[in-house]
Amino acid sequence: MKIAVLGTGMVGHTLAGKLVSLGHEVTMGSRESGNPKGEEWARQAGPLAAAGSFSDAAGRSELIVNATPGTVSLAALAEAGEANLRGKILLDVSNPLDFSHGFPPSLTVCNTDSIAETIQRTYPQVRVVKSLNTVSAPVMVDPGRLAGDHDIFMAGNDQAAKSTVSGLLQEFGWVPGHIRDLGGLDAARALEMWLPLWLRIFMQQPQGKMFNIGIVSE
């Protein structure tokens, strides 16, 4: 698949690298065409990898991964351009974390709204799927590194888009029975509001020790 990864941070790099290793044609998008982080990544990642502006990346891709911070996602998507997004699947892995008052961050939007819903309202023709935002980037692309069954969630209004995303998650190693479809995109509120607890657990973990949650039932 032709995939744009918007964002040149750790999450963007991890996802873009994994997608290339799986044989996808990936363009890493950043604010400015010629961004050294994107260009350097593309050089090292081989012939399936490219770099460009948000608009370049979205324009040439079928699926767009929003790996920008939630606080700047709307600005990034505006630069990508509605015409480059329309009708496409947007996998939103962002979190609306506000670090301006220190650590742990609060959320810039929550409870009755979410970044994912804000994106969907702004771009009604985009097929937004929220997923992967509940885990660290290394876990997103390699769930098998954790010792036990654990779960990933999805939310979105477009069932076919969720099926496509589920397929990508399975390419990453997620097991179908542990890919939990929580329903419509309003469930993205719940996925983004998980972050405060994730952060508190993270603060108690040995440094660098990755984790996730598994649902344990009767």
Q: Which stretch binds a second copy (CB under 8 A): 9-17, 49-57, 123-131, 194-202?
A: 194-202
Structure tokens at 64: 């767009």
- Contact flags string 28-67 toward a second copy, x per CB under 8 A: ----------------------------------------
147 binds a second copy (CB under 8 A): yes
Residue 74 touching a second copy (CB under 8 A) = no
Q: Side-chain half-sphere of 47: how many Cα atoms within 13 Å?
A: 1
- 178: which 2 tokens? 């542990």
Q: Is 205 in the site for a second copy (CB under 8 A)?
A: yes
Q: State the nearest-atom distance from the C-beta of 4 to a second copy, in Å.
A: 28
Q: Which of 82, 110, 158, 175 binds a second copy (CB under 8 A)?
A: 110
Residue 112's SS3 state is coil
CB 6 to a second copy: min, Å: 25
Choice between 54 and 172, CB closer to a second copy:
172
Three-state SS for 6-69 is: ECCCHHHHHHHHHHHHCCCEEEEEECCCCCHHHHHHHHHHCCCEEEEEHHHHHHCCCEEEECCC
**Phi-psi category of 148—alpha, beta or left, where left has phi over 0 and alpha has psi -120 to 50?**
left
Q: Which two tokens stand for residue 165?
A: 């995303």
Stretch that binds a second copy, among 17-25, 57-65, 163-171, 176-184 (CB under 8 A): 176-184
Provide the 3-class DSSP secondary structure of residue 5: strand
Quick one: 44 or 111, whose CB is closer to a second copy? 111
Q: Can you tell me the distance from the alpha carbon of 98 to that of 69, in angstroms, rounded to the nearest whole number?
A: 10
Binding-site ranges for a second copy (CB under 8 A)? 106-107, 110-112, 145-150, 153, 155, 180-183, 187, 189-191, 193-194, 196-197, 199-201, 203-205, 209-218
